[in-house]
Amino acid sequence: MKTRKVSQQAIVDELVNYLMLGGGILVGTIGGKAADRMLGVDPSLPGFNAKGLVKPLAQLGLGIAGSLKLRNTKLKMFSGGVGASGVISSVEMLTGRSLLAGLTDSLGNPQPQVGNFFPGVRSFQPELPSLRPGHSEPGYELSYGHDSSVELVESSDFEII
């Protein structure tokens, strides 16, 4: 296996490329949020929102145009980041879910969900009895087998003949 020496300048150049890509994503996301505020886009409205298409199309268009027209590789990486933010916002608009859910903003506040993809459908939340150690629900009894496994048996589930 041949080994190749990597110079420090090559490492710094690669690091700068990734920073430019991340900066493009950041600037594209911030610019997209500003465009949404300026246009008055409400993500909580059910159904298709035509104003919501402006942000991803503008981000994708700027990213593609910058990648095609610019000659500097660092600026191409930056415009690629802007285009990537367009892909992220397109997926968020189409699915109604944030790809960055669970992350926090710069103030430490959790990011809200973008919207509900199925507005008429409630999420499944079963009503299960709370089982606490040492307490059994009425109508239930705990029986311990020889292998010390616990079985939950309801007395009305079976009939002794």
Taking CA atoms, 84 is separated from 30, 96, 138, in Å, by: 13, 18, 57
Output the six-digit token pair for 91: 């997926």
Q: How confident is the model at residue 140 (pLDDT cuts 50, 70, 90)?
A: low
- E strand intervals along the chain: 140-144, 150-154
User: How far is it, in rounded angstroms, from Cα 157 to Cα 154?
Assistant: 6
Q: pTM to 2 decimals?
A: 0.57
- At residue 146, the pLDDT reads 53
The pLDDT mean for the chain works out to 76
pLDDT tens by residue, 13-37: 999 999 999 999 999 999 998 988 8
pLDDT tens by residue, 89-116: 888 887 777 776 655 555 555 555 545 5
**Chain centre to alpha carbon of residue 37:** 21
Q: How confident is the model at residue 126 (pLDDT cuts 50, 70, 90)?
A: confident
Coil, strand, or helix at residue 90?
A: helix
Q: Which of 46, 45, 43 lies closest to 114, judged by CA? A: 43
- At residue 76, the pLDDT reads 93
| Cβ pair 139, 156 in contact under 8 A | yes
Taking CA atoms, 127 is separated from 122, 124, 130, in Å, by: 14, 10, 9
| Weakest-pLDDT range from 16-20, 59-63, 134-138 | 134-138
| Cβ pair 87, 30 in contact under 8 A | no
Q: How confident is the model at residue 50 (pLDDT cuts 50, 70, 90)?
A: confident
Output the six-digit token pair for 94: 């189409």
Average of pLDDT values for 59-71? 93
User: How far is it, in rounded angstroms, from Cα 12 to Cα 20?
Assistant: 12
Output the six-digit token pair for 136: 């059994």
